């Protein structure tokens, strides 16, 4: 019985300690929120007005490939401002944005950024839906 209490106590301690380690640092939250806002605004501008694909016209496979490469290049340039690569951003952003309390805290402290963040399309920015690439 005493051994079981010690094992439970140690297990709970490890779980609590690991939970503290998962909390996003405020500087990281700021960097990723700003990057997400810039990415969202860039993507909105990129596709604003339908571009060259109006009246329901769909791009060809080659056009889609070219657009993907163009977006990736623009995204890479934008993320250098935050000392990030596209791969780093894609890998770490789910972890950062999973800390909803930290993100909300940052946004509440920065009303101008909160306005821009809330103006982003929900379904494409990894907020509120599973569609899109989750930039």
Rg (CA), the chain: 20
Contacting residues for 81 by C-beta, under 8 A, at least 6 apart? 35, 38
Q: What is the pLDDT of residues 33-85, one digit of tens each?
A: 999 999 999 988 887 765 566 666 787 888 889 988 999 999 999 999 999 99
Closest-CA residue to 62 (of 51, 74, 70): 70
Write down the pLDDT at residue 73: 94
Structure tokens at 89: 């951003």
Quick: pLDDT tens for 114-127.
999 999 876 544 54
């Amino acid at each position: 019985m005493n051994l079981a209490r010690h094992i439970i106590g140690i297990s709970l301690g490890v779980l609590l300690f690991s939970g503290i380690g998962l909390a996003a640092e405020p500087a990281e939250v700021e960097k990723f929120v700003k990057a997400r806002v810039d990415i969202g605004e860039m993507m909105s501008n990129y596709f604003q007005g339908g571009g060259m694909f109006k009246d329901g016209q769909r791009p060809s496979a080659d056009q889609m490939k070219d657009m993907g490469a163009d977006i990736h290049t623009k995204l890479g340039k934008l993320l250098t401002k935050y000392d990030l690569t596209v791969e780093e951003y894609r890998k770490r952003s789910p972890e950062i944005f999973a800390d909803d309390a930290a993100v909300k805290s940052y946004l509440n402290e920065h009303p101008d950024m909160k306005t821009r963040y809330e103006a982003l399309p929900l379904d494409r920015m990894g907020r509120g839906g599973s569609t899109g690439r989750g930039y």
